[in-house]
Structure 1
């Protein structure tokens, strides 16, 4: 039995919020700054109300006059988009990159101190939801947001890409005809030692658990099903490592893998795929959006708005080049015709500990894989 060692963001987020406190409105006892700067609001409102070439031309002129943009991100693939943006426009982009928890902590600390250090945040959904709940974002509106998949049009922020959880297999080890039509089939003892789960996939687990309950199973039945699956599984920390181990034949199937990690391996000629020949992918796929939010106290609001527009237009090709699923559907949509479900963001925000504890209980029945 593996030790109960689940690393999840929820505990980190709770600690960060407790340590930093919430940003406060101007005039408060601790001297915190307003969450929305009056100039930023004026600029955002002006261009949010425009569309088409009129918006683009006016926004480019205003953004280039500002001449700067500050972005905080946890996305390691954002460099290509930033470079393309800088090549197209006369705007200097300053990027701070850390993991998603570091980005969150930095933003909350700056907000508490009344320091406007960043114009736009591009990171994971969990951290964006926290910042949105704290009232730090300003609405982003317009035709480019309207083009985003409905699952990516969040209350406080807008998705530019999706993490898509898929079932992937090593084609040298597992025939397509062997695969079940649902992950429920991996509870069969014949899969002992042949499958993998990821240590931190609480969001995927929550979505799939809810899906099976909605299909008519009791919560107790779903819990036992997942425990049976975990008993057969090698538990891996990290999706990149999981893709590497699947490629190396350490197991035959990964049941909650990122589609972009798998697709990159497929394109590189490794014997892995999430679209096995001759059969449909195991469904449903689980979607979790990641994206960006405009800071309400942005020093460079026009540049931030222009970058958001760019993310959802030209930037979508850069996202596709990294094998990721963009938030704007395209002609060769990789999700077309497939059954998808979404991670319930409110559920994860309000009941994270419940899912952390339950998933930790489930995966401790698996075998911790050696990296």
Structure 2
């Protein structure tokens, strides 16, 4: 526990470590998700099992930290968002495969690593936020539409090199090939109202402020904005549009978990992984984070259901992870953020 306290302090944030130290059993988690977003889950797990969950929040550098710690790492599990980040942890050789009938029964094959190193927990759609006042229904329906000159000076987005946008470009590359993807990126860039900046919520704020008319973002940010009194007005100024790729569906990404190679509390770590894909935990996670649960039979929250139905793209997420380097190269070639 002493070593874990040291590493979590360096990581920049810890949750429930003092309380956890009084319990006989524990599991240690490195997370790219902030502890408060996981607290409903960790509290429910501890109440059910008596096992404390110690969460170390890392803003970045998870792979580098695990590589440096090696076999001495106090981390049992890593939880992150975005398929490229999950793949990078596995590619670094700091995880181990997990065999579990509970996991295979609750996580569809499309949402876990073929070699069982990472397992999906929830999904989110990368959608379009559209001004209620300045965008007509049906005016934008596909990702391809974003390059249409009619949107010149009307689009806002965060950095093109952010993991969420790189994954979207990788999906475009999968469906359309390199030449068409580069043309599309150039078209979208020419339609930007301002230089890429801020996070997804900042783009919705820009729509509310009249700086642009549409923006690219993840679905769950709508839920987060509606919970924040300072941001509710931003959220109410936009509609959610579920665009599709021509001939395919809406781009999806994932949050997922993997067991570290070091895992000093392997048995407890497996219990926590299996708990996270249970119907109870899936609904807690979906409610707390406004995402789509993965386990069969689980339902999203009423708020998320209210955003509408859509057809998810069925591309294998590992295929997108493999295309990430090419997607990033194309983003840089067109100087998307310039």
Name the TM-score class by shorter chain.
0.7 to 0.9
TM-score, length-scaled by structure 2: 0.75
Q: Distance in 1 between matches of 2:40 and 2:299?
A: 22
> Is 2:117 aligned against 1:160?
no
Q: Distance in 1 between matches of 2:31 and 2:176?
A: 34
* Equivalent runs, 1:116-195 vs 2, <5 Å: 116-124=73-81, 125-133=83-91, 134=93, 136-154=95-113, 155=115, 156-177=117-138, 179-195=139-155
Residue 162 of structure 1 contacts residue 287 of structure 1 at CA under 8 Å; is this kept in 2? yes
User: Among 281, 284, 288, which residue is 1:318 paired with?
Assistant: 284
Q: Distance in 2 between matches of 1:222 and 1:131?
A: 27
How many pairs were matched up? 287
Residue 148 of structure 1 contacts residue 327 of structure 1 at CA under 8 Å; is this kept in 2? yes
Residue 144 of structure 1 contacts residue 312 of structure 1 at CA under 8 Å; is this kept in 2? yes
Distance change (3 Å), C-alpha of 1:273 and 1:148: farther
Q: State the Cα distance separating 1:236 from its structure 2 match.
A: 3.0
Q: Distance in 1 between matches of 2:44 and 2:212?
A: 39
Residue 69 of structure 1 contacts residue 300 of structure 1 at CA under 8 Å; is this kept in 2? yes
* Equivalent runs, 1:1-20 vs 2, <5 Å: none
Residue 125 of structure 2 contacts residue 252 of structure 2 at CA under 8 Å; is this kept in 1? yes
User: Among 294, 297, 306, which residue is 2:271 paired with?
Assistant: 306
RMSD, aligned α-carbons: 2.8
After TM superposition, the structure 1 stretch with the greater mean CA deviation from structure 2, 286-295 or 327-336, is 327-336
Q: Distance in 1 between matches of 2:134 and 2:253?
A: 29
> Is 2:27 aligned against 1:69?
yes
- Runs of at least 5 residues in structure 2 that lack an aligned partner in the other structure: 1-22
Which one has a bigger Cα radius of gyration?
Answer: 1
Q: Distance in 1 between matches of 2:310 and 2:252?
A: 14
Q: Once the two structures are superposed, what CA deviation does each residue of 1:229-280 show, in whole Å capped at 9, x if it has no partner?
A: 22011323422322333344431111x31011134446746222224xxxxx
After TM superposition, the structure 1 stretch with the greater mean CA deviation from structure 2, 334-343 or 313-322, is 334-343
The runs of at least 4 consecutive aligned structure 1 residues that moved more than 6 Å come to none
Residue 40 of structure 2 contacts residue 284 of structure 2 at CA under 8 Å; is this kept in 1? yes
Residue 201 of structure 2 contacts residue 225 of structure 2 at CA under 8 Å; is this kept in 1? no
Q: Distance in 1 between matches of 2:75 and 2:25?
A: 14
Distance change (3 Å), C-alpha of 1:221 and 1:118: closer
- Runs of at least 5 residues in structure 1 that lack an aligned partner in the other structure: 1-64, 214-218, 276-280
After TM superposition, the structure 1 stretch with the greater mean CA deviation from structure 2, 331-340 or 155-164, is 331-340
